[in-house]
Structure 1
Amino acid sequence: MPPLSKDTIVAVIGAGAMGAGIAQVAASYGHQVKLFDKAEGAASRAIDSIGAGLGKLVSRGKLDHSEAEAILSRLQPIEELSQLADAGLVVEAIIENLDIKRSLFAELEQLCAADTLLTSNTSSLSITSIAAGMQHPERFAGLHFFNPAPIMKLVEVISGLDTDRHVAETLYASASAWGKKPVHARSTPGFIVNRLARPFYAEGLRLLEEGAADTATIDALLRDAGGFRMGPFELMDLIGHDVNYAVTCSVFDAYYGDQRFLPSLTQKALVDGGRLGRKSGRGFYDYRTDAVQPQPQSLSSAGSTLVELPTLIVEGDLGVAEPLLTRLQQTGIHVVRRQGLANQQGRLLLGDAVLALTDGRMASERAVAEATANLVLFDLALDYQQASRLAVAIADQADRRVLQPVTELFALAGIQLSLLDDAPGLAVMRTVAMLANEAADAVMQQVCSAADADIAMQFGVNYPRGPLAWAEAVGTQRIHQVLTHMQQAYGEDRYRPSRQLKRMAVTGGHFHVNAA
């Protein structure tokens, strides 16, 4: 389907941050845009604010002055809803209240032409439910932008039960023409991003609540090893705990209490205490003037005991962790490779220490199963050649003195180690496994395609890699194994592997994701 022509008038209802941003995007493409807000003068003030923002871009040399003037000339403040009758596309961006939205669209149906596309920017309400009272729900869809709309690339095009396929395809083509990265989604709780992102916060919160590590350490691991721009706690502080907690509760309730979306009592306490994050001055971190910020915990390599570079014995194939071996070799250590035992995963032997990539079991449990007392597990990294920090865990029965040469070896390669309490799956691996699991379930339930799941998470929340592409890079069999072991460790349905993921692991199939 072709996009809407530039001659199509776009109406945006709601002149808040989202509405104003959407209006700017449409006007930048070339549409005449009518911006309406029931609050007197709100639309005009929003356009003035857009103008100020465009002026800053001009001053930085990022936008031509004439183009800024052209964009502003296409924005028109509207004082009466009736003035939107000639719009070919209406985007609603008002309060998240079902009854108010239904009432608005009932009025718009009477006001606008029969071929006008009606859309909502809702992030939490069912598109099917909003459309339930409409005479022609087939022309209604979700058009969910992310804040700030002029900058964020992702747009979720959400089809309700009655949305006509051609309507969704026209909106998809139009969002693409506007310079966005659109994805198709079926109207289910959380759509794509708000559903698939839940494990990123949930697994960090669980690690904190179990005493595996503190907030600064967990955040540092997700950044420095996982490649995420922010860790879960600093991101929740930025979003606002009232907002983040409310979304989690909404998704949890909508999925009838599915334990995968269980809200955190720790986060609830912050909300109850008014510690909402950056906007209130305190959250997991203290943003007040002169507050001392906590630092991540690291094992110390001071007072090195290495007299000479050690020999590292490699047994078997390290799989996704092979680049780590290459990096360690670059320190000048001597490496000896030998065949591992049948059905044994690759591991590194350094003196009395045995190092292995986490498979979702606790180090203490795995040490017993493999008859290896001095077992040290290390975490997944997005790029072992670039990671500056890794999580490790040691079996309870191990001689903790084996940590020192391990720490010194990794320090030679420029990698700091953070010791976690013996937590199943450590930090990055368990987070990636749960993100991939949720994405696989969404694909299986036909919420979206595998490619759109990955695009949504990369362009909606800036993940360094799509969760399904990441699962394939690690190996779907390994991800399935991690989840199975975590489910056994916790005895909870929360970690149940998706049937779709299991199929990929058993058959060696692929999700058919595209590099974004």
Structure 2
Amino acid sequence: MTALDLSSPVAVVGTGTMGQGIAQVALVAGHPVRLYDAVPGRAREAADAVLARLDRLVAKERMTEAARDAARTRLAPAGSLADLAGCALVVEAVVERLETKQELFRALEDVVADDCLLATNTSSLSVTAVGGALRLPGRLVGLHFFNPAPLLPLVEVVSGFATDASSATRAHETARAWGKTPVACADTPGFLVNRVARPFYAEPFAAYEARAADPATIDAVLRESGGFRMGAFELTDLIGQDVNESVTHSVWRSFFHDARFTPSLPQRRLVESGRLGRKSGQGWYDYRDGAERPGPHTAPPAGRPAHITVHGGLGPARELVPMAREAGIEVREGAGTGVREGEEASDPRVVLPGGGALYPAGGRTAAERGDAVHFDLAFDYRRATRIALSAGPGTAPRTVEEATGLFQALGKEVSVIGDLPGMIVARTVARIVDLAHDAVAKGVATEEDVDTAMRLGVNYPAGPFEWDRALGRDWAHRLLSALHERDASGRCAPSPALHAHAHAYTPDEREGTS
């Protein structure tokens, strides 16, 4: 089954921001496009808005005048649903209410031909449920664009329980012909991106609720250490706290209150107070005129340690060893110094000149280790510009200063946060990796499509499976297992799929771990 022919008319029902964006995508691809809205006059206004955006593209030399003029002749507002009779594809982008969408598609079935492809752009409702009211549910597919649709490349092509394979294939190939990157996924709560992405919001919010750090510091760590384009607090302010929380609640309810998707109480309070983010002037941050954006907490300059002793290798942080040497710090290979009761000499850590130890973020707190500091995960330790450290009440001030001085000598800003097991980036990434494995094991999507979706849909620095391979087969499982031992609510419990992955060594790998 191939993409729709460019001569085939495409209709978009619903002329809000998303509807206009989808119409622009189909129009620029070369289709005749018809816009319909139940509110009189709204379709004409939307058509004018789309054409105005094309004028701006011409002004920026991203579109030729000839292409714009041709597109202008192909775009028309529709006065009624009956005007959509000859369309080969109808995409709805109306309000997120199941009954409204079902009613619309039932009406469309009385108008369009039986071979017309129907698509819903829903982001939170079940495609199966939307199609359940149709006479021919097999032709309904989810086409979930991301906002702004003309700019963001990803489209989730969602197959409901009754969707015909031929319908999904045609929708997939049509999205590709429109210049988009389609990923196929099953009809699951949150589909692909909104399902796998929940920890990116949940874990930073949990760190805030635990008073580990303030929003500005957590956001800075996620950006400058984790490699994410935006932090969770600034991103949800941009999305809208009400919108983001609504999606979280929808996924949580749809998964029968699974603890892994538990909503955030601080975010609930934010929504209840009317602080919805940029659109209301206040959210996690204040956007009103004259308001100053708070900066992250950054440690003052500290003296660099003359030497460090590395024990057991540092796993994902192994690049810190050559970096320290390049910075002129003497690196001694582990000679047994600093091994504490109950630990093995191979436990990854850096012993500082004063005798304190520096550990990669894990399932323990710094307080449980005594005179110790933890450091967070970085996507790329060389390129990271900030590192988070955590210390416990038993950590000597000298140890904190030496750990701070070490990372400052490597060119990093340092944020000292509360003593939170798993810290910020490490626990967030581990949970994203877990949900990705869970989704693939349950047939939601392939590993390749998961990675593509998370890189393109939410601008992650790497796909979950790319990150998993870089961190090591059992890294996420070990961290989440340790966190789950501390909190048996199930929030951080590793999925069966992640457990199986962590223990699925090849014969050569198993021999190497014996």
TM-score band w.r.t. shorter chain:
over 0.9
State which of 315, 319, 325 in structure 1 corresponds to 2:321.
Answer: 325
Which of 487, 490, 495 does residue 490 from structure 1 map onto?
A: 487
Q: Distance in 2 between matches of 1:70 and 1:383?
A: 47
Residue 180 of structure 1 is matched in structure 2 by 180
Q: Within 2, Cα distance between the matches of 1:345 and 1:111? A: 68
Say if 1:393 and 1:421, in contact at 8 Å, map to a contact too: yes
Specify which of 422, 427, 431 is matched with residue 425 of structure 1. 422
Q: Distance in 2 between matches of 1:59 and 1:353?
A: 61
Shift of 1:483: 0.3
Aligned to 1:358: 361
TM-score (norm: length of structure 2) = 0.94
Return the alpha-carbon distance in structure 1 between the equivalents of residues 307 and 335 of structure 2.
Answer: 16
Q: Is structure 2 residue 310 aligned with structure 1 residue 310? A: no
Are 1:251 and 2:247 an aligned pair?
A: no
Cα RMSD for the two superposed structures = 1.5
The alignment status of 1:107 with 2:107, answered yes or no, reads yes
Give the corresponding residue for 1:447. Answer: 444
Q: Could you list the per-position Cα deviations for residues 49-89 of structure 1 after superposition, in whole angstroms to 9, with x for gaps in the alignment?
A: 11221222222222222222222222111111101111111
TM-fit CA distance, 1:431: 0.5
Residue 407 of structure 1 aligns with which residue?
404
Q: Does 1:348 align with 2:344?
A: no
Residue pair 1:24, 1:71 contacting (<8 A) in 2 also: no
Aligned residue type for 2:314: L
Where in structure 2 are the equivalents of 1:183-332 lying within 5 Å?
A: 183-301=183-301, 304=303, 310-332=306-328
Taking the aligned partners of 1:388 and 1:20, their CA distance within structure 2 comes to: 39
Taking a change above 3 Å as real, the CA distance of residues 4 and 339 of structure 1, as seen in their structure-2 partners, is: farther
Helix, strand or coil for the counterpart of 2:333?
strand
Pairing 1:436–2:436 present? no
Note the residue ranges of structure 1 that are not aligned, 5 or more in a row: 368-372, 510-516
CA distance 1:10–1:382, shift in 2 (3 Å): same
Q: Is the 8 A contact 1:47 1:72 kept in 2?
A: no
Aligned equivalents of 2:494 and 2:462: distance in 1? 20
User: Match of 2:366, as an amino acid?
Assistant: A
Q: Which moved more, 1:261-270 or 1:343-352?
A: 343-352
Per the TM alignment, residue 480 of structure 1 is displaced from its structure 2 partner at its CA by: 0.5
Structure 2: how far apart are the matches of 1:164 and 1:260?
32
- Aligned position for 1:514: none
Amino acid corresponding to residue 2 of structure 1 in structure 2? T
**Cα displacement (A) at 1:339:** 6.8
**2:333 aligns to what?**
337
* Distance in 2 between residues matched to 1:432 and 1:189, nearest whole Å: 20
Q: CA deviation at 1:342?
A: 5.5
Q: CA deviation at 1:359?
A: 2.0
Q: Are the aligned partners of 1:476 and 1:501 in contact in 2 as well (CA < 8 Å)?
A: no
Q: Is the 8 A contact 2:324 2:410 kept in 1?
A: yes
Residue 150 (structure 1) aligns with? 150
Distance 1:362 1:65 in 2: 62
Amino acid at match of 1:336: R
Question: 1: distance between equivalents of 2:230 and 2:290?
Answer: 22
Do 1:424 and 1:489's aligned partners in 2 also have CA atoms closer than 8 Å? no
User: How much does 1:189 deviate?
Assistant: 1.2
What percentage of aligned pairs have identical amino acids?
A: 45
Partner of 1:97: 97
SS at match of 1:494: coil
Verify: 1:458 aligned to 2:448, yes or no: no
Q: Which amino acid aligns with 1:181?
A: T
**What's the secondary structure of 2:104's corresponding residue?**
helix
1:198-235 deviation line (CA, Å, top 9, x unaligned): 11111111100111011110000000001111111111
Match of 1:55 in 2: 55
Distance 1:126 1:409 in 2: 51
Give a deviation string over 1:362-409, Cα, whole Å, max 9, x none.
Answer: 1223x1xxxxx3221111101100111111112332212211122122
| Per-residue deviation, 1:324 | 2.2
| TM-score in terms of structure 1 length | 0.94
SS of residue matched to 2:456 = helix
* C-alpha deviation, 1:343, in angstroms: 7.1
Paired amino acid for 1:349: V
Counterparts of 1:210 and 1:465 in 2: how far apart (Å)? Answer: 28
Indicate the larger mover: 340-349 or 141-150.
Answer: 340-349
For residues 84-132 of structure 1, the C-alpha deviation after alignment (integer angstroms, 9 at most, x for no partner) is 1111111111111111211111121121111111111111111111111
Distance (Å, rounded) in 1 between the aligned partners of 2:68 and 2:335: 65
Q: Is the 8 A contact 1:152 1:459 kept in 2?
A: yes
Report the AA paired with residue 242 of structure 1.
Answer: D
The runs of 5 or more residues in structure 2 that have no matched partner are 337-342, 507-514
Paired letter, 1:337? E
Distance in 1 (alpha carbons) for counterparts of 2:202 and 2:449: 23
Partner in structure 1 of residue 339 of structure 2: none
Q: How far 1:360 sits from its partner (Å)?
A: 2.2
Q: 1:289 & 1:122 partners in 2: Cα distance?
A: 35
Matched, 1:22 2:25: no
Q: Which residue of 1 aligns with 2:392?
A: 395
SS at match of 1:293: coil
Aligned partners of 1:71 and 1:344: how far apart in 2? 65
Counterpart-to-counterpart distance in 1, 2:64 and 2:323: 46
Letter aligned with residue 327 of structure 2 = T
One-letter amino acid of the counterpart of residue 424, structure 2 = A
For 1:254 and 1:17, how far apart are their aligned partners in 2? 26
Helix, strand or coil: the match of 1:495?
coil
CA distance in 2, matches of 1:300, 1:255: 45
Contact kept, 8 Å, 2:311 with 2:345, in 1: the verdict is no
**2:503 corresponds to which residue?**
506
User: Between Structure 1 and Structure 2, how many residues are aligned?
Assistant: 499
SS in 2 for 1:111: coil
- Aligned partner of 1:6 in structure 2 is 6
Contact 1:483 1:496 in 2 (8 A): yes
* Cα distance change on mapping 1:339 and 1:152 into 2, 3 Å: farther
